[in-house]
Amino acid sequence: MVAIVHKEGDPLPYDGERGNARYFTLEFSMPGNLPILCEWDGEGHSNYGEGPEPDAEDFVQAVQEYL
């Protein structure tokens, strides 16, 4: 699952730049196939540990905890 979060009121560039958007993913660990909450930014990949089961409402709630 992927969530792209943009802070309301911040400029939204369309020139290929990231702007202030944040990119969260729900990935599966290898091995174990556990859901892992992660974030991608200009410097790489952050792993926030075990995430929720792949359910949209639970994923959104988990992302909101990092905003």
Decide if pLDDT at 13 tops 90.
Answer: no
* pTM of the model as a whole: 0.81
Return contacts of 44-51, CB within 8 angstroms, 24+ apart.
51/26
Q: Count CB neighbours of 57 within 10 A.
A: 8
pLDDT value for 14: 62
Decide if pLDDT at 55 tops 80.
Answer: yes
Instruction: Pick the closest to residue 42 from 14, 57, 20 (CA basis).
Output: 20
Decide if pLDDT at 16 tops 80.
Answer: no
Q: Count CB neighbours of 44 within 10 A.
A: 7
| Confidence band, pLDDT 50/70/90 cuts, at residue 2 | very high
